[in-house]
Amino acid sequence: MISPRCAACKYLRRRCPSDCIFSLYFPPNDPQRFACVHRIYGASNVAKILQQLPPNLRAQAADTLYFEAHYRIQDPVYGCVGIISQLYQQIHNAESELAKTQAEIAFLNCNPQEEVQPIEANYSNFNNLLPNQYCPPSTQNSWFN
């Protein structure tokens, strides 16, 4: 029985050899995955990256390559670097908010008799702190936990 070609070999219209570097990571039932990485990196660059890695790390590498390619297609200017930029901004905002809040606590610790007005504004950023989780479009997203 002839094994089905992997998505890469189907895309490249070639025979899928038994030792195809792509076959384990680009199954035939997900043609869009290889199309994505091929568009951004090219087949030979992906093959070189995978070949230089030990086999136990190639699946993760293929997933992250797909993730980055996916976001580069969605945002051709910034790709996933745009996500990094947003996260830095969120961290900056959260750190400022935290420093402000803890300064108020420190003040109140030193001045326990001070009357304090109920705080209303400090929850303003709670709902905005976490970005939508940028999980790679794969089931193996353990690196985000």
DSSP secondary structure string for all residues of 99-122: HHHHHHHHHHHH-TTS--PPP-GG
In the complex, minimum distance from the CB of residue 124 to other proteins, in angstroms, rounded to a whole number: 10
Does position 140 interact with other proteins (CB under 8 A)? The reply is no
- Return d(Cα 28, Cα 26) in angstroms, integer: 7
- 83 three-state secondary structure: helix
- Return d(Cα 85, Cα 72) in angstroms, integer: 14
Does position 74 interact with other proteins (CB under 8 A)? The reply is no
Closer by beta carbon to other proteins, 17 or else 88? 88
- Return d(Cα 33, Cα 53) in angstroms, integer: 20
- Structural contact between residues 33 and 7, judged by C-beta atoms closer than 8 angstroms: yes
Does position 131 interact with other proteins (CB under 8 A)? The reply is yes
- Longest Cα–Cα distance of the chain, Å, equals 83
x/- contact string, 81-120, with other proteins (CB under 8 A)? Answer: xxxxx-xxxxxx-xxxxxx-xxxxxx-xx--x---xxxx-
- Return d(Cα 98, Cα 125) in angstroms, integer: 11
Closer by beta carbon to other proteins, 32 or else 125? 125
Does position 1 interact with other proteins (CB under 8 A)? The reply is no
- Contact footprint for other proteins (CB under 8 A): 39-42, 44-45, 49, 52-54, 57, 60-61, 64-65, 67-68, 72, 76-85, 87-92, 94-99, 101-106, 108-109, 112, 116-119, 122-123, 125-126, 129-131, 133-134, 136, 143-144
